[in-house]
Amino acid sequence: MSQPKIITVGSANLDLVAACEHLPAPGETVTGARFAQYPGGKGANQALAARRLGGEVAMIARVGKDANAAAALALLKEDGVDLSRIVEDDGAPTGVALIFVDKAGENMIVVASGANGALGPADVAGAGPADAVLCQLEVPLSAIEAAADIESGLFAINLAPAMPMPTDLLERADLLIVNEGEAEFYGDALYRGEGLVAKTLGRDGAILYRAGKEVARMPVYAVPVIDTVGAGDTFCGALAVALAEGMEEGAALRFASGAAALAVTKEGAQPSLPWRKDVEAFLADKA
């Protein structure tokens, strides 16, 4: 099977992670944490996930002209993501995410967007064609609207973090991906188009809808949870690759759910992203 061509339009960050006993309450200082830094950003995470899971992936993003840029792009470069459309921004730093993770794998995240906030239509212009275009909401809406015009077989938006979106853009999408909170935010607007909607339910698995009707459902896979950061991005990248390959909808949801399950068993967003052979082996064992 030939690799589907995936274009990811989104954010690239450097994640600064503190693993702690428990997440701090407002005004509380938690000591004894263990620090690490990893490449991150929802766009970069999903690009790397799609690459490791079988896609030929190109990334469209902005970073600063600073030391953090090389660190933010390191694993994308190492694993063969096409970075020729990455723009170095003269006026803004590389985005940074401050992440706290507790012993149960739950997390709190604050993002300083930096150069991600300057991504625009000019950065997207001329991209394509592609089998799939995958976007998220950590970059300006104008960039996502431009991405919708890229010639592709699948235009997908991960509606995270939730924010107001033009109805026509939601209806143009072939695939919308949300978690429970995002699904509540958008409500019935998710189901007005003819495309697919994938809703992740945490410990209750995931559901795939078309035109508001359920077409597939997957329970969660029981695995040891180390760090949930990156699991949602893994799901998005995996689902985009599977559908771009022409995988049947239920099988695509199963593939994405298996990939996301493996992602929570390791620390860090990008270091935890699984390879296709590992996902296939995991799913074969669950058959």
Residues with a catalytic annotation lie at 233
The candidate with the shortest Cα–Cα distance to 76, out of 33, 107, 45, is 45
DSSP string, 112-181: E-GGGGG--HHHHTT---BSEEEE-SSS-HHHHHHHTTS-BS-EEEE--S-----HHHHHH-SEEEEEHH
11 near 94, Cβ under 8 Å?
A: no
The tokens for 166 are: 């033009």
DSSP string, 217-257: EEPPP----S--TTHHHHHHHHHHHHHHTT--HHHHHHHHH
| Diameter over CA atoms, the chain | 54
> Rounded CA gap, 122 and 195, in Å?
27
